[in-house]
A and B are shown apart, each in its own frame.
Chain A
Amino acid sequence: MRDTRRTERIAFALLFLATIVIVAPVGIILFIVLWHGLPGLSLEFIFSMPREGMRAGGIFPAIIGTLVLTIMTAVFSIPVGILAAIYLNEYAGKNWLTRMVEMAIINLAGIPSIVYGLFGLGLFVAFLNFGTSILAGSLTLAIMTLPVIITATREALNAVPQAFREVSFSLGASRWQTVRGVVLKNAIPGILTGAILGLSRAAGETAPILFTAAAFYLPQLPQSVFDQCMALPYHIYVLSTQVPNVSPKIQYGTVLVLVLMVFMLNIMAAFIRAKFRKRKTW
Protein backbone atom coordinates (compact mmCIF):
# COMPACT_ATOMS: atom_id res chain seq x y z
CA MET A 1 0.00 0.00 0.00
CA ARG A 2 2.65 2.43 1.10
CA ASP A 3 4.67 1.75 -2.03
CA THR A 4 1.77 2.45 -4.39
CA ARG A 5 1.14 5.74 -2.68
CA ARG A 6 4.78 6.74 -2.97
CA THR A 7 4.93 5.89 -6.69
CA GLU A 8 1.74 7.86 -7.13
CA ARG A 9 3.32 10.89 -5.43
CA ILE A 10 6.49 10.64 -7.53
CA ALA A 11 4.49 10.28 -10.76
CA PHE A 12 2.38 13.27 -9.86
CA ALA A 13 5.46 15.35 -9.07
CA LEU A 14 7.13 14.43 -12.34
CA LEU A 15 4.05 15.19 -14.45
CA PHE A 16 3.52 18.47 -12.65
CA LEU A 17 7.16 19.41 -13.16
CA ALA A 18 6.93 18.67 -16.87
CA THR A 19 3.92 20.96 -17.14
CA ILE A 20 5.78 23.74 -15.31
CA VAL A 21 8.73 23.33 -17.67
CA ILE A 22 6.36 24.03 -20.57
CA VAL A 23 4.42 26.87 -19.01
CA ALA A 24 7.24 28.70 -17.27
CA PRO A 25 9.17 29.94 -20.34
CA VAL A 26 5.98 31.33 -21.89
CA GLY A 27 5.16 33.11 -18.67
CA ILE A 28 8.66 34.49 -18.23
CA ILE A 29 8.85 35.73 -21.83
CA LEU A 30 5.48 37.41 -21.58
CA PHE A 31 6.41 38.99 -18.26
CA ILE A 32 9.72 40.40 -19.53
CA VAL A 33 8.16 41.70 -22.74
CA LEU A 34 5.30 43.34 -20.88
CA TRP A 35 7.59 44.73 -18.17
CA HIS A 36 9.96 46.42 -20.59
CA GLY A 37 7.57 47.01 -23.45
CA LEU A 38 4.49 48.53 -21.82
CA PRO A 39 6.21 51.85 -20.89
CA GLY A 40 7.10 52.33 -24.56
CA LEU A 41 3.60 51.63 -25.82
CA SER A 42 1.54 54.66 -26.84
CA LEU A 43 -0.72 55.76 -29.67
CA GLU A 44 2.16 57.76 -31.07
CA PHE A 45 4.41 54.69 -31.01
CA ILE A 46 1.84 52.68 -32.94
CA PHE A 47 0.67 55.31 -35.42
CA SER A 48 3.77 57.31 -36.37
CA MET A 49 6.75 56.79 -38.63
CA PRO A 50 10.19 56.01 -37.19
CA ARG A 51 12.52 59.01 -36.73
CA GLU A 52 16.21 59.63 -36.03
CA GLY A 53 17.43 56.42 -37.63
CA MET A 54 14.64 54.41 -35.94
CA ARG A 55 15.83 55.47 -32.48
CA ALA A 56 12.67 57.49 -31.92
CA GLY A 57 9.15 57.86 -33.26
CA GLY A 58 6.90 54.89 -33.96
CA ILE A 59 6.69 51.64 -35.85
CA PHE A 60 3.60 52.30 -37.96
CA PRO A 61 5.07 51.12 -41.30
CA ALA A 62 6.24 47.84 -39.77
CA ILE A 63 2.80 47.19 -38.32
CA ILE A 64 1.13 47.94 -41.65
CA GLY A 65 3.70 45.78 -43.45
CA THR A 66 3.05 42.78 -41.21
CA LEU A 67 -0.72 43.27 -41.51
CA VAL A 68 -0.59 43.44 -45.31
CA LEU A 69 1.78 40.45 -45.55
CA THR A 70 -0.44 38.39 -43.26
CA ILE A 71 -3.65 39.26 -45.09
CA MET A 72 -2.14 38.48 -48.48
CA THR A 73 -0.66 35.25 -47.15
CA ALA A 74 -4.17 34.35 -46.02
CA VAL A 75 -5.61 35.18 -49.44
CA PHE A 76 -3.09 32.96 -51.21
CA SER A 77 -2.81 30.05 -48.81
CA ILE A 78 -6.25 29.50 -47.27
CA PRO A 79 -8.28 28.77 -50.44
CA VAL A 80 -5.56 26.63 -52.03
CA GLY A 81 -4.88 24.78 -48.78
CA ILE A 82 -8.53 24.02 -48.08
CA LEU A 83 -9.25 22.90 -51.65
CA ALA A 84 -6.17 20.67 -51.71
CA ALA A 85 -7.16 19.10 -48.39
CA ILE A 86 -10.71 18.48 -49.60
CA TYR A 87 -9.36 16.83 -52.73
CA LEU A 88 -6.92 14.63 -50.82
CA ASN A 89 -9.43 13.63 -48.17
CA GLU A 90 -12.74 13.36 -49.99
CA TYR A 91 -11.90 12.70 -53.62
CA ALA A 92 -8.50 11.14 -54.16
CA GLY A 93 -8.18 7.39 -53.94
CA LYS A 94 -5.55 5.78 -51.79
CA ASN A 95 -2.73 5.03 -54.21
CA TRP A 96 1.00 5.59 -54.44
CA LEU A 97 0.51 9.08 -55.88
CA THR A 98 -1.61 10.35 -53.01
CA ARG A 99 0.77 8.72 -50.56
CA MET A 100 3.63 10.61 -52.20
CA VAL A 101 1.68 13.86 -51.95
CA GLU A 102 0.99 13.17 -48.28
CA MET A 103 4.67 12.47 -47.63
CA ALA A 104 5.58 15.67 -49.45
CA ILE A 105 3.21 17.71 -47.32
CA ILE A 106 4.55 16.26 -44.09
CA ASN A 107 8.11 16.97 -45.21
CA LEU A 108 7.26 20.48 -46.34
CA ALA A 109 6.05 21.25 -42.84
CA GLY A 110 9.50 20.34 -41.52
CA ILE A 111 11.60 22.47 -43.87
CA PRO A 112 13.46 25.31 -42.09
CA SER A 113 11.96 28.70 -42.81
CA ILE A 114 15.21 30.12 -44.19
CA VAL A 115 14.99 27.54 -46.97
CA TYR A 116 11.56 28.89 -47.88
CA GLY A 117 13.11 32.35 -47.90
CA LEU A 118 15.79 31.28 -50.36
CA PHE A 119 13.23 29.43 -52.46
CA GLY A 120 11.07 32.57 -52.60
CA LEU A 121 14.11 34.60 -53.57
CA GLY A 122 14.86 32.24 -56.42
CA LEU A 123 11.31 31.74 -57.70
CA PHE A 124 9.31 34.89 -57.00
CA VAL A 125 11.94 37.60 -56.68
CA ALA A 126 14.35 36.54 -59.41
CA PHE A 127 12.70 34.09 -61.81
CA LEU A 128 9.19 35.58 -61.89
CA ASN A 129 10.72 39.03 -61.54
CA PHE A 130 8.41 40.28 -58.79
CA GLY A 131 11.48 41.85 -57.14
CA THR A 132 11.73 42.20 -53.41
CA SER A 133 8.07 42.97 -52.83
CA ILE A 134 5.00 42.37 -50.73
CA LEU A 135 3.79 40.00 -53.44
CA ALA A 136 6.94 37.88 -53.39
CA GLY A 137 7.04 37.89 -49.58
CA SER A 138 3.42 36.89 -49.08
CA LEU A 139 3.65 34.16 -51.71
CA THR A 140 6.70 32.78 -49.91
CA LEU A 141 4.88 32.91 -46.58
CA ALA A 142 1.85 31.30 -48.22
CA ILE A 143 3.89 28.35 -49.45
CA MET A 144 5.35 27.93 -45.98
CA THR A 145 1.87 28.04 -44.41
CA LEU A 146 0.21 25.66 -46.88
CA PRO A 147 1.25 22.39 -45.22
CA VAL A 148 -0.04 23.65 -41.87
CA ILE A 149 -3.39 24.60 -43.37
CA ILE A 150 -3.69 21.38 -45.36
CA THR A 151 -2.90 19.24 -42.33
CA ALA A 152 -5.29 21.17 -40.08
CA THR A 153 -8.06 21.01 -42.68
CA ARG A 154 -7.63 17.28 -43.16
CA GLU A 155 -7.84 16.73 -39.43
CA ALA A 156 -11.03 18.76 -39.32
CA LEU A 157 -12.48 16.80 -42.25
CA ASN A 158 -11.54 13.50 -40.65
CA ALA A 159 -13.27 14.55 -37.45
CA VAL A 160 -16.63 14.62 -39.27
CA PRO A 161 -18.15 11.17 -38.67
CA GLN A 162 -18.03 8.89 -41.71
CA ALA A 163 -21.67 8.03 -40.99
CA PHE A 164 -22.78 11.54 -41.99
CA ARG A 165 -21.22 11.03 -45.41
CA GLU A 166 -22.92 7.66 -45.77
CA VAL A 167 -26.30 9.14 -44.93
CA SER A 168 -25.78 11.81 -47.55
CA PHE A 169 -24.64 9.35 -50.22
CA SER A 170 -27.48 6.99 -49.38
CA LEU A 171 -29.96 9.72 -50.27
CA GLY A 172 -28.45 10.06 -53.72
CA ALA A 173 -26.07 12.95 -53.07
CA SER A 174 -23.05 13.43 -55.30
CA ARG A 175 -19.62 13.75 -53.78
CA TRP A 176 -19.63 17.53 -53.99
CA GLN A 177 -23.13 17.76 -52.52
CA THR A 178 -21.95 15.60 -49.65
CA VAL A 179 -18.83 17.67 -49.10
CA ARG A 180 -20.81 20.88 -49.13
CA GLY A 181 -23.90 19.68 -47.30
CA VAL A 182 -22.50 17.66 -44.41
CA VAL A 183 -18.71 17.63 -44.40
CA LEU A 184 -17.63 21.25 -44.75
CA LYS A 185 -20.50 22.51 -42.66
CA ASN A 186 -19.24 20.52 -39.69
CA ALA A 187 -15.54 20.96 -40.38
CA ILE A 188 -15.42 24.72 -40.80
CA PRO A 189 -14.59 25.62 -37.19
CA GLY A 190 -11.64 23.23 -37.22
CA ILE A 191 -10.51 24.48 -40.61
CA LEU A 192 -10.69 28.12 -39.50
CA THR A 193 -8.77 27.51 -36.30
CA GLY A 194 -6.06 25.66 -38.18
CA ALA A 195 -5.83 28.35 -40.83
CA ILE A 196 -5.57 31.14 -38.25
CA LEU A 197 -2.89 29.30 -36.28
CA GLY A 198 -0.93 28.78 -39.49
CA LEU A 199 -1.22 32.47 -40.27
CA SER A 200 -0.17 33.53 -36.81
CA ARG A 201 3.03 31.58 -37.33
CA ALA A 202 3.54 33.25 -40.70
CA ALA A 203 2.98 36.69 -39.17
CA GLY A 204 5.92 36.21 -36.83
CA GLU A 205 8.38 34.70 -39.31
CA THR A 206 11.53 36.61 -40.25
CA ALA A 207 13.53 34.30 -42.48
CA PRO A 208 11.04 33.86 -45.34
CA ILE A 209 10.64 37.63 -45.81
CA LEU A 210 14.30 38.47 -45.23
CA PHE A 211 15.19 38.30 -48.94
CA THR A 212 11.71 38.51 -50.44
CA ALA A 213 9.85 41.47 -48.93
CA ALA A 214 11.39 43.15 -45.94
CA ALA A 215 13.05 46.54 -46.06
CA PHE A 216 15.52 47.90 -43.50
CA TYR A 217 13.89 51.33 -43.49
CA LEU A 218 11.37 53.05 -45.74
CA PRO A 219 10.46 56.71 -45.44
CA GLN A 220 6.91 56.06 -46.66
CA LEU A 221 4.26 53.35 -46.65
CA PRO A 222 4.23 50.86 -49.58
CA GLN A 223 2.06 52.00 -52.49
CA SER A 224 1.49 48.69 -54.29
CA VAL A 225 2.10 44.96 -53.88
CA PHE A 226 5.28 45.36 -55.92
CA ASP A 227 6.82 47.61 -53.26
CA GLN A 228 8.98 46.44 -50.42
CA CYS A 229 7.62 46.86 -46.94
CA MET A 230 8.85 47.00 -43.39
CA ALA A 231 7.65 44.19 -41.14
CA LEU A 232 7.64 43.71 -37.38
CA PRO A 233 9.78 40.56 -37.08
CA TYR A 234 12.47 41.96 -39.35
CA HIS A 235 12.23 45.34 -37.63
CA ILE A 236 12.93 43.65 -34.31
CA TYR A 237 15.96 41.96 -35.81
CA VAL A 238 17.16 45.30 -37.19
CA LEU A 239 16.60 47.15 -33.91
CA SER A 240 18.43 44.56 -31.88
CA THR A 241 21.43 43.91 -34.13
CA GLN A 242 21.84 46.54 -36.86
CA VAL A 243 21.17 49.88 -35.20
CA PRO A 244 23.35 50.94 -32.26
CA ASN A 245 21.95 52.71 -29.21
CA VAL A 246 18.25 51.95 -29.58
CA SER A 247 16.44 52.44 -26.28
CA PRO A 248 15.08 49.19 -24.80
CA LYS A 249 11.69 50.92 -24.61
CA ILE A 250 11.46 50.89 -28.40
CA GLN A 251 12.94 47.41 -28.79
CA TYR A 252 10.63 45.81 -26.26
CA GLY A 253 7.70 47.94 -27.40
CA THR A 254 8.09 46.54 -30.91
CA VAL A 255 8.32 43.00 -29.59
CA LEU A 256 5.23 43.58 -27.48
CA VAL A 257 3.24 44.81 -30.49
CA LEU A 258 4.18 41.71 -32.52
CA VAL A 259 3.41 39.37 -29.63
CA LEU A 260 0.05 41.07 -29.12
CA MET A 261 -0.85 40.78 -32.81
CA VAL A 262 -0.02 37.08 -32.89
CA PHE A 263 -1.79 36.62 -29.58
CA MET A 264 -4.92 38.24 -30.93
CA LEU A 265 -4.96 35.80 -33.84
CA ASN A 266 -4.56 32.86 -31.47
CA ILE A 267 -7.30 34.13 -29.19
CA MET A 268 -9.54 34.50 -32.20
CA ALA A 269 -8.86 30.86 -33.09
CA ALA A 270 -9.60 29.73 -29.54
CA PHE A 271 -12.78 31.80 -29.54
CA ILE A 272 -14.07 30.27 -32.79
CA ARG A 273 -13.32 26.80 -31.50
CA ALA A 274 -15.09 27.40 -28.22
CA LYS A 275 -18.11 28.94 -29.89
CA PHE A 276 -18.63 26.05 -32.29
CA ARG A 277 -17.90 23.40 -29.71
CA LYS A 278 -20.92 24.57 -27.80
CA ARG A 279 -23.04 24.13 -30.90
CA LYS A 280 -21.65 20.68 -31.69
CA THR A 281 -24.31 18.18 -30.93
CA TRP A 282 -23.08 14.72 -31.80
Chain B
Amino acid sequence: MVKIKTSNLNVWFDWEIALKNITLDVSENEILGIIGPSNSGKTTLLRTLNRLNELYPGSRVEGKAELDGKDIFTEVDILSLRKRVGIVFALPLPLPLSIFDNIAYGPRLHGIKKNNSLSEIVEKSLKDAALWDEVKDRLQESAFKLSGGQQQRLCIARTLAVEPEVVLYDEPCSGLDPISTLKIEEAMKKLKSNYTQILVTNNVKQSARVSDRTAFFLMGELIEVGITAEIYTAPKDKRTDDYISGRFG
Protein backbone atom coordinates (compact mmCIF):
# COMPACT_ATOMS: atom_id res chain seq x y z
CA MET B 1 0.00 0.00 0.00
CA VAL B 2 1.26 3.45 -0.83
CA LYS B 3 1.90 5.50 2.30
CA ILE B 4 3.44 8.65 0.88
CA LYS B 5 3.04 9.90 -2.64
CA THR B 6 4.39 13.07 -4.19
CA SER B 7 3.48 14.22 -7.66
CA ASN B 8 5.21 17.02 -9.54
CA LEU B 9 6.44 18.47 -6.25
CA ASN B 10 8.44 21.70 -6.57
CA VAL B 11 9.94 23.56 -3.64
CA TRP B 12 11.49 27.01 -3.71
CA PHE B 13 13.44 29.00 -1.18
CA ASP B 14 12.90 32.60 -2.18
CA TRP B 15 13.76 32.48 -5.88
CA GLU B 16 15.98 29.43 -5.79
CA ILE B 17 14.44 26.11 -6.70
CA ALA B 18 15.40 23.27 -4.35
CA LEU B 19 13.22 20.43 -5.63
CA LYS B 20 12.14 19.98 -9.25
CA ASN B 21 9.14 17.93 -10.23
CA ILE B 22 9.55 15.13 -7.75
CA THR B 23 7.18 12.23 -8.29
CA LEU B 24 7.83 9.46 -5.83
CA ASP B 25 5.95 6.74 -3.91
CA VAL B 26 6.84 5.22 -0.59
CA SER B 27 5.05 2.05 0.43
CA GLU B 28 3.97 1.10 3.89
CA ASN B 29 6.66 -0.63 6.01
CA GLU B 30 9.27 0.14 3.42
CA ILE B 31 12.67 1.70 4.00
CA LEU B 32 13.41 4.09 1.18
CA GLY B 33 17.02 5.24 1.00
CA ILE B 34 17.78 8.58 -0.61
CA ILE B 35 21.33 9.21 -1.75
CA GLY B 36 22.94 12.07 -3.59
CA PRO B 37 25.60 14.75 -3.13
CA SER B 38 25.07 17.75 -0.84
CA ASN B 39 22.65 20.34 -2.10
CA SER B 40 20.68 17.82 -4.11
CA GLY B 41 17.42 18.45 -2.24
CA LYS B 42 17.33 15.32 -0.08
CA THR B 43 16.86 17.18 3.19
CA THR B 44 14.41 19.59 1.60
CA LEU B 45 12.23 16.65 0.57
CA LEU B 46 12.12 15.34 4.15
CA ARG B 47 11.37 18.77 5.56
CA THR B 48 8.60 19.22 3.03
CA LEU B 49 6.96 15.94 3.99
CA ASN B 50 6.37 17.11 7.56
CA ARG B 51 6.09 20.78 6.57
CA LEU B 52 9.04 21.97 8.67
CA ASN B 53 10.22 24.09 5.74
CA GLU B 54 7.33 26.39 6.40
CA LEU B 55 9.11 27.71 9.48
CA TYR B 56 11.22 29.67 7.00
CA PRO B 57 9.55 32.61 5.37
CA GLY B 58 10.34 32.47 1.69
CA SER B 59 9.75 28.75 1.23
CA ARG B 60 7.13 27.88 -1.35
CA VAL B 61 5.63 24.61 -2.52
CA GLU B 62 3.92 23.64 -5.74
CA GLY B 63 2.49 20.27 -6.65
CA LYS B 64 1.13 17.53 -4.46
CA ALA B 65 2.22 15.40 -1.55
CA GLU B 66 -0.10 12.88 0.00
CA LEU B 67 -0.16 10.84 3.18
CA ASP B 68 -2.61 7.92 2.99
CA GLY B 69 -4.17 9.57 -0.03
CA LYS B 70 -4.81 12.89 1.72
CA ASP B 71 -3.08 16.07 0.57
CA ILE B 72 -0.73 17.09 3.38
CA PHE B 73 -0.98 20.79 2.54
CA THR B 74 -4.75 21.07 2.49
CA GLU B 75 -6.41 17.98 3.94
CA VAL B 76 -4.22 17.15 6.96
CA ASP B 77 -3.87 19.38 10.02
CA ILE B 78 -0.27 20.54 10.24
CA LEU B 79 0.19 19.58 13.91
CA SER B 80 -1.18 16.07 13.44
CA LEU B 81 0.87 15.72 10.25
CA ARG B 82 4.06 16.42 12.19
CA LYS B 83 3.01 13.94 14.84
CA ARG B 84 2.32 11.26 12.20
CA VAL B 85 5.48 12.01 10.21
CA GLY B 86 8.40 12.18 12.63
CA ILE B 87 11.94 13.26 11.80
CA VAL B 88 15.39 12.51 13.15
CA PHE B 89 17.83 15.31 12.40
CA ALA B 90 21.39 15.05 11.17
CA LEU B 91 22.97 16.19 14.42
CA PRO B 92 21.83 14.65 17.68
CA LEU B 93 19.63 17.36 19.16
CA PRO B 94 18.59 16.49 22.68
CA LEU B 95 16.59 19.17 24.44
CA PRO B 96 18.20 20.55 27.62
CA LEU B 97 16.17 18.14 29.75
CA SER B 98 16.67 14.78 31.41
CA ILE B 99 16.66 11.60 29.33
CA PHE B 100 13.15 10.81 30.57
CA ASP B 101 11.79 14.29 29.90
CA ASN B 102 13.28 14.39 26.41
CA ILE B 103 11.21 11.37 25.44
CA ALA B 104 8.17 12.41 27.44
CA TYR B 105 8.21 15.84 25.78
CA GLY B 106 6.20 14.69 22.76
CA PRO B 107 3.58 12.58 24.56
CA ARG B 108 3.08 15.41 27.05
CA LEU B 109 2.38 17.79 24.17
CA HIS B 110 -0.37 15.49 23.08
CA GLY B 111 -2.02 15.40 26.45
CA ILE B 112 -0.55 12.35 28.18
CA LYS B 113 -0.05 13.40 31.79
CA LYS B 114 -0.10 10.23 33.92
CA ASN B 115 3.30 9.19 35.18
CA ASN B 116 2.86 5.48 34.66
CA SER B 117 1.67 5.88 31.06
CA LEU B 118 4.63 8.18 30.40
CA SER B 119 7.01 5.66 31.97
CA GLU B 120 5.62 2.92 29.73
CA ILE B 121 6.03 5.06 26.63
CA VAL B 122 9.57 6.05 27.61
CA GLU B 123 10.57 2.42 28.19
CA LYS B 124 9.01 1.18 24.96
CA SER B 125 10.52 3.96 22.86
CA LEU B 126 13.97 3.48 24.33
CA LYS B 127 13.75 -0.27 23.70
CA ASP B 128 12.69 0.32 20.09
CA ALA B 129 15.63 2.67 19.62
CA ALA B 130 18.00 0.10 21.18
CA LEU B 131 19.02 2.41 23.99
CA TRP B 132 17.07 1.09 26.99
CA ASP B 133 19.76 -1.20 28.41
CA GLU B 134 22.32 1.57 28.40
CA VAL B 135 20.21 4.21 30.14
CA LYS B 136 17.54 2.47 32.19
CA ASP B 137 19.28 3.31 35.48
CA ARG B 138 19.95 6.95 34.68
CA LEU B 139 16.75 8.27 33.18
CA GLN B 140 16.85 11.41 35.33
CA GLU B 141 20.31 12.45 34.15
CA SER B 142 20.74 15.24 31.62
CA ALA B 143 20.54 14.00 28.05
CA PHE B 144 23.75 15.91 27.33
CA LYS B 145 25.70 13.40 29.41
CA LEU B 146 25.11 10.72 26.78
CA SER B 147 27.62 10.06 24.00
CA GLY B 148 26.87 11.26 20.47
CA GLY B 149 25.64 7.85 19.35
CA GLN B 150 23.44 7.48 22.41
CA GLN B 151 22.08 11.00 21.92
CA GLN B 152 21.07 10.15 18.37
CA ARG B 153 19.28 6.99 19.51
CA LEU B 154 17.63 9.12 22.18
CA CYS B 155 16.37 11.38 19.42
CA ILE B 156 15.01 8.37 17.54
CA ALA B 157 13.26 7.24 20.72
CA ARG B 158 11.86 10.74 21.17
CA THR B 159 10.48 10.66 17.64
CA LEU B 160 8.96 7.20 18.20
CA ALA B 161 7.36 8.29 21.48
CA VAL B 162 4.60 10.23 19.72
CA GLU B 163 3.68 7.06 17.76
CA PRO B 164 4.34 8.32 14.25
CA GLU B 165 3.45 6.31 11.16
CA VAL B 166 6.39 7.54 9.11
CA VAL B 167 9.92 8.22 10.35
CA LEU B 168 12.25 10.42 8.31
CA TYR B 169 15.98 10.21 8.98
CA ASP B 170 18.13 13.09 7.79
CA GLU B 171 21.65 11.69 7.66
CA PRO B 172 21.23 10.28 11.16
CA CYS B 173 24.69 8.78 11.35
CA SER B 174 26.76 11.55 9.80
CA GLY B 175 28.61 12.33 13.03
CA LEU B 176 28.72 8.85 14.50
CA ASP B 177 31.25 6.06 14.86
CA PRO B 178 30.71 2.74 12.99
CA ILE B 179 29.38 0.90 16.05
CA SER B 180 26.76 3.54 16.83
CA THR B 181 25.89 3.57 13.13
CA LEU B 182 25.40 -0.19 13.20
CA LYS B 183 23.12 0.06 16.24
CA ILE B 184 20.97 2.64 14.53
CA GLU B 185 20.76 0.60 11.35
CA GLU B 186 19.67 -2.46 13.32
CA ALA B 187 17.05 -0.42 15.12
CA MET B 188 15.73 0.75 11.76
CA LYS B 189 15.45 -2.80 10.48
CA LYS B 190 13.52 -3.84 13.57
CA LEU B 191 11.19 -0.87 13.21
CA LYS B 192 10.21 -1.97 9.70
CA SER B 193 7.23 -3.96 10.86
CA ASN B 194 5.52 -0.89 12.31
CA TYR B 195 6.80 2.13 10.43
CA THR B 196 7.38 3.52 7.00
CA GLN B 197 10.91 4.93 6.95
CA ILE B 198 12.82 7.26 4.68
CA LEU B 199 16.57 7.44 5.16
CA VAL B 200 18.53 10.29 3.66
CA THR B 201 22.22 9.50 3.76
CA ASN B 202 25.52 10.78 2.47
CA ASN B 203 26.92 7.32 2.95
CA VAL B 204 26.24 5.36 -0.21
CA LYS B 205 26.91 2.04 1.51
CA GLN B 206 24.44 2.75 4.27
CA SER B 207 21.54 2.87 1.87
CA ALA B 208 22.74 -0.38 0.34
CA ARG B 209 22.74 -2.00 3.77
CA VAL B 210 19.33 -0.98 5.07
CA SER B 211 16.97 0.23 2.37
CA ASP B 212 14.51 -1.76 0.26
CA ARG B 213 14.55 0.78 -2.51
CA THR B 214 17.00 3.58 -3.18
CA ALA B 215 16.46 6.92 -4.87
CA PHE B 216 19.24 9.03 -6.34
CA PHE B 217 18.85 12.80 -6.21
CA LEU B 218 20.99 15.33 -8.04
CA MET B 219 20.61 19.12 -8.09
CA GLY B 220 17.02 18.95 -6.90
CA GLU B 221 15.98 16.28 -9.37
CA LEU B 222 15.08 12.65 -8.84
CA ILE B 223 17.38 10.88 -11.29
CA GLU B 224 16.13 7.37 -10.64
CA VAL B 225 14.56 5.15 -8.04
CA GLY B 226 14.41 1.38 -7.83
CA ILE B 227 15.04 -1.79 -5.85
CA THR B 228 18.27 -1.20 -3.95
CA ALA B 229 20.07 -4.22 -5.40
CA GLU B 230 19.25 -3.11 -8.92
CA ILE B 231 20.28 0.49 -8.36
CA TYR B 232 23.62 -0.64 -7.01
CA THR B 233 24.35 -3.29 -9.60
CA ALA B 234 22.69 -2.03 -12.75
CA PRO B 235 21.69 1.63 -12.55
CA LYS B 236 19.86 2.91 -15.58
CA ASP B 237 21.36 6.39 -15.51
CA LYS B 238 25.05 7.00 -16.00
CA ARG B 239 25.05 9.71 -13.32
CA THR B 240 23.77 7.23 -10.75
CA ASP B 241 26.51 4.82 -11.72
CA ASP B 242 29.13 7.55 -11.43
CA TYR B 243 27.92 8.62 -8.00
CA ILE B 244 27.67 5.14 -6.56
CA SER B 245 31.07 4.13 -7.81
CA GLY B 246 32.60 7.35 -6.52
CA ARG B 247 33.52 8.85 -9.86
CA PHE B 248 31.51 11.93 -9.25
CA GLY B 249 32.75 15.50 -9.07
Using a CB–CB distance below 8 Å, which chain A residues touch chain B? 93-94, 163-174, 177, 181-182, 185-186, 280-282
User: Nearest residue in A to B109 (C-beta to C-beta)?
Assistant: A173
Q: How far is the CA of A64 from the CA of B83 in the complex (A)?
A: 54
Q: How far is the CA of A186 from the CA of B144 in the complex (A)?
A: 15
Give Cα A166–Cα B89 distance, bound, in whole angstroms: 10
Give chain B's interface residues, CB within 8 Å of chain A.
Answer: 50, 52, 55, 57, 79-80, 82-83, 86-87, 89, 91, 93, 95-96, 105-106, 109-110, 142, 144, 155, 158-159, 162
Residues of A contacting B158 with CB < 8 Å? Answer: 167, 171
Known A-B contacts A168-B105, A172-B82; A93 and B95 likewise in contact (beta carbons under 8 Å): no
Contacts of B50 in A (CB 8 A): 170
B55→A166 contact, CB < 8 A: yes
5 nearest A-B pairs in the assembled complex, by CB-CB distance: A172-B83, A171-B106, A172-B82, A281-B144, A170-B87
Give every chain A residue within 8 A of B52 (Cβ-Cβ).
Answer: 166, 169-170
B119 to chain A, nearest CB (A): 18
- Asked whether A171 lies within 8 Å of B89 as measured between CB atoms, the reply is no
> Contacts A166-B52, A177-B109 hold; do A172 and B162 have CB atoms under 8 A apart?
yes
Q: Which A residues lie within 8 Å of B106 (CB)?
A: 171-172
Residues of chain B within 8 A of A166, CB atoms compared: 52, 55, 89, 93
Tell me if B105 and A171 are in contact (CB < 8 A).
yes
B233, chain A: closest CB distance, angstroms: 36
B93 with A186: CB separation less than 8 A? no
Name the A residues within 8 Å of B91 (CB-CB): 163
CB<8 Å pairs between A and B, sample of 7? A164-B95, A166-B89, A169-B55, A172-B79, A185-B96, A281-B142, A282-B96
A281 CB contacts on chain B under 8 angstroms = 96, 142, 144
Contact assessment for B96 and A186 in the assembled complex, using a CB-CB cutoff below 8 Å = yes
- Measured CB to CB, the nearest residue on chain A to B79 is A172
Given the known inter-chain contacts A94-B57, A166-B55, A281-B144, please indicate yes or no for A172 contacting B96, CB distance below 8 A.
no
Interface contact A164-B93, CB-CB below 8 Å: yes
Which A residues are CB-close (under 8 A) to B93? 163-164, 166-167
Q: Are A169 and B82 in contact (CB under 8 A)?
A: yes
